[in-house]
Structure 1
């Protein structure tokens, strides 16, 4: 039941994202190749690489280590678009990043996990079949986005009426998922916060900095640099929670896999960095 609620919530959240997108949003980044290259470099390459280095540096092992890698492969979401707007970043570019990342995640996430799982959890002998995992991630994270885009394209007026309501519902679902996870795994959350907290906060801060540095090196506009930093620094924890629960049913405890806990912890801790980051970028 818990897994069904999680997957259903994620599908609706991604569908809500799709309602806010148009086909043009997917092509917008291609009109700004430097910004597109910066986004791909930061989110698809540097984020998983830095996460893996931090896992090694902190000596994190087992389920939680793989859970951090799952999180590092997740795209941004509606939250990152909102944070970009509040930070006075390039919202159109942020939406374009989110749209493209939501599409490629179905491939990149299973591929990264297939490489890192044997290293991080060799004692459990987890065998990830790439194609089935790709299909699962595609059906839960990418297909709902495409359906939302299609509805907006075919019935724009109806989609506009649905957009605000669906966005409110998706935000409520995200909060409900997070609260439900924390309540169900509260003892585990508290017990492992000293272990997971430092690495997740550091990953968040480093990626915010990486986005800023890469943007400056490529001489992007200030608003584009802000968008790049937000997209690199804030991941969709809901995807991480659901994917973690899909990997191994045998490891589900209290209705939730331990692979999902890092994403749940991250979804709370990232609030610590959001407010100062937004205030800082607004003052520039």
Structure 2
């Protein structure tokens, strides 16, 4: 198991480079992953089953302890990113299945990578995990609703197929993972060390499938604008997420402090693009182009998230900003950490 854990750590460190190399390999040799086209839902189910394995009652207690921040963060995610997608499609005049793909990734729950980025940026990881959990559990309802509301002008939206697929690959695996954790408890820890490697391999398979089935159209005139749109979608999501959390600080400063602002920034801007690609391949099987925006998003948001987290740490260190500061005040790192007795 130690070997698997080391491999997972290595894969995490070099994941972006591995993704790029793997995508190029499937672009030139699509036969590498085309076989897995019918099984992408199973690979995503494995990822989300693993997510369920890592959850316990404490994760749900945190949601109860800070319901306002979790609810506000989740609502912000499901409003900002879908509407941003629609706006970008209008600005760049995207149409048809390409527009549907952009909106689909915008309607997905927050990505698990945001937890890592929040940790690296010294954000509130507990809040990050809680928002991610709630947004993921709501996905079978929110994705069909948002897609039918925002994307039906482009193509007929298979609402029932989206709901059933999301239920199958999201809610059921997460609940099964929770049940296994509850039954076997501490024994699960022996297995969870392998989850990063397993999850990343499953993501690579899904990316490989999308590139393979779309290799002829990946860089065609039809999809030429997808990459810049995806990049703007993510960056605007970060900006609006941070701006929104700053606004909430003015309304409720005790709940939306600097660490929470970072968490909400990552939760809003980063999507579960693996789910987006899987839903695209399953619900829009006749139009695999729908999955291209999710694939681009998967690569790009890991790059941008890593850069933002690194910049945030350096910025805070340079200006002496403490992770526990109220609103990112410069020099707060020199002050003692507030306690219930002195706060």
TM over 0.5: yes
Query: Contact 1:23–1:149 (CA<8 Å) still a contact in 2?
Result: no
| Higher mean C-alpha deviation, range 13-22 or range 267-276 | 267-276
Change (3 A) 1:128 1:282: same
Considering Cα pairs closer than 8 Å and 6+ residues apart, tell me whether 1 or 2 has the greater RCO.
1
**Is residue 19 from structure 1 mapped to residue 50 from structure 2 by the alignment?**
no
Query: Contact 1:27–1:96 (CA<8 Å) still a contact in 2?
Result: no
Cα offset for 1:193?
Answer: 5.5
- Structure 1: runs of 5 or more not aligned: 252-256
Q: TM-score, normalised by structure 1?
A: 0.90
1:231 maps to what in 2? Answer: 267
- In the alignment, the residues of structure 1 paired with residue 310 and residue 284 of structure 2 have an alpha-carbon distance, to the nearest angstrom, of 41
Query: Contact 1:103–1:142 (CA<8 Å) still a contact in 2?
Result: yes
**Of 114, 123, 128, which residue of structure 2 is paired with 1:94?**
128
2:281 maps to what in 1? Answer: 245
Cα offset for 1:149?
Answer: 1.3
- Structure 2: runs of 5 or more not aligned: 1-34, 250-255, 317-343
| Higher mean C-alpha deviation, range 171-180 or range 43-52 | 171-180
- 1:134-173 superposed matches below 5 A: 134-173=163-202
Query: Contact 2:45–2:169 (CA<8 Å) still a contact in 1?
Result: yes
2:162 maps to what in 1? Answer: 133
| Higher mean C-alpha deviation, range 184-193 or range 101-110 | 184-193
- In the alignment, the residues of structure 2 paired with residue 249 and residue 36 of structure 1 have an alpha-carbon distance, to the nearest angstrom, of 34
Query: Contact 2:237–2:268 (CA<8 Å) still a contact in 1?
Result: yes
2:219 maps to what in 1? Answer: 190
Deviations along 1:37-65, one digit per CA (max 9) or x if unpaired, are: 43123211121112111111111101010
1:278 maps to what in 2? Answer: 309
2:245 maps to what in 1? Answer: 215
Count of matched residue pairs: 274
Cα offset for 1:202?
Answer: 0.7
Larger % of helix: which?
1
**Of 232, 256, 261, which residue of structure 2 is paired with 1:202?**
232
Query: Contact 2:117–2:306 (CA<8 Å) still a contact in 1?
Result: no
1:82 maps to what in 2? Answer: 116
Cα offset for 1:167?
Answer: 2.6
- In the alignment, the residues of structure 1 paired with residue 283 and residue 150 of structure 2 have an alpha-carbon distance, to the nearest angstrom, of 13
**Of 82, 88, 91, which residue of structure 2 is paired with 1:54?**
88
Query: Contact 1:110–1:134 (CA<8 Å) still a contact in 2?
Result: yes
| Higher mean C-alpha deviation, range 184-193 or range 76-85 | 184-193
Query: Contact 1:90–1:224 (CA<8 Å) still a contact in 2?
Result: yes
- In the alignment, the residues of structure 2 paired with residue 133 and residue 186 of structure 1 have an alpha-carbon distance, to the nearest angstrom, of 25
- In the alignment, the residues of structure 2 paired with residue 44 and residue 6 of structure 1 have an alpha-carbon distance, to the nearest angstrom, of 24
Query: Contact 1:3–1:242 (CA<8 Å) still a contact in 2?
Result: no
- In the alignment, the residues of structure 1 paired with residue 71 and residue 195 of structure 2 have an alpha-carbon distance, to the nearest angstrom, of 31
Deviations along 1:113-133, one digit per CA (max 9) or x if unpaired, are: 122332123xxxx25243x43
- In the alignment, the residues of structure 2 paired with residue 70 and residue 98 of structure 1 have an alpha-carbon distance, to the nearest angstrom, of 17
Query: Contact 2:124–2:259 (CA<8 Å) still a contact in 1?
Result: yes
Query: Contact 1:6–1:242 (CA<8 Å) still a contact in 2?
Result: yes
Query: Contact 1:81–1:95 (CA<8 Å) still a contact in 2?
Result: yes
2:19 maps to what in 1? Answer: none
- In the alignment, the residues of structure 2 paired with residue 69 and residue 243 of structure 1 have an alpha-carbon distance, to the nearest angstrom, of 12
Change (3 A) 1:81 1:127: closer
